[in-house]
Amino acid sequence: MRIIGIAGWSGSGKTTLLARIIPRLTARGFTVSTLKHAHHSFDIDVPGKDSHTHRLAGATEVMISSGQRWALMHELRGAGEPPLADLLQKLSPVDLVLIEGFKREGHPKLEVYREANGTPLLAAEDPQVVAIAADVALPQARVPVLPLDDLEAIAAVLIERAAPIAQLVRRSE
């Protein structure tokens, strides 16, 4: 498995870019998974359902399975958030894992930048940013800058610059 991040400040369009780029990657024959970081509490379970009841009763993990999909929910129960390397090891093998968020971690990243946000470039401080997808020219950038709507070029960078998952796992040990 190879990994690369999609990083940027809130509102930069990371999720929108992922939704547009995943079909391009799968059309090229790649199997793709995503790992999304949330800075806030979230819940994917529905009150009143059995799985929700199991979780509220104190189960550490609850797995739900059907003929279409399965999901595993793991409650931290006060433990700290697992490191990125640990989370990646829980994924089934695929060709490419796209990591949304985790912008401070040490994996290669494509930065998504929108001038209207008025935020600084992550690439200025993060040597792991390998390219920037932006809605403006950025002559000060130290890495290649791609037009935000050039999906073919962005897909090529994601494929070329993704790193083997083992590199991140080794660094975290």
* Phi, psi (deg, nearest 5) at residue 54: -60, -45
3-state DSSP assignment of residue 44: coil
How confident is the model over 20-51, as pLDDT tens digits? Answer: 999 999 999 999 999 988 766 666 777 888 88
Looking at the predicted structure, is the pLDDT value of residue 173 above 60? no
What's the CA gap between 93 and 97, in Å, rounded?
A: 9
123, part of any domain: yes
In a domain, 65, yes or no: no
The pLDDT value recorded for residue 9 is 94
Secondary structure of residue 23 in the 3-state scheme:
helix
Q: Is residue 152 part of a domain?
A: yes
**Confidence (pLDDT) at 39:** 65
Contact 77, 59 (CB under 8 A): no
Structurally, how many domains does the chain consist of? 1
Residue 77 belongs to a domain: no
Which domain covers residue 148, as residue numbers?
Answer: 2-40+83-172
Residue 18 in domain: yes
* Dihedral sign of CA atoms 153, 147, 129, 104 in order: negative
Residue 114: inside a domain, yes or no?
Answer: yes
Asked if 120 and 28 count as a contact pair (C-beta separation under 8 A), the reply is no
Instruction: Specify whether the CB–CB gap between 100 and 37 falls below 8 A.
Output: yes
How high is the mean pLDDT of the chain? Answer: 89
| Residue 37 CB burial class (10 angstroms; 0-12, 13-18, ≥19) | middle
CATH for 20? 3.40.50.300
Contact (Cβ atoms closer than 8 angstroms) between residue 8 and residue 103: yes
Q: How confident is the model at residue 171 (pLDDT cuts 50, 70, 90)?
A: low
Dist. CA 16–CA 74, nearest whole Å: 27
Is residue 99 included in any domain, yes or no? Answer: yes
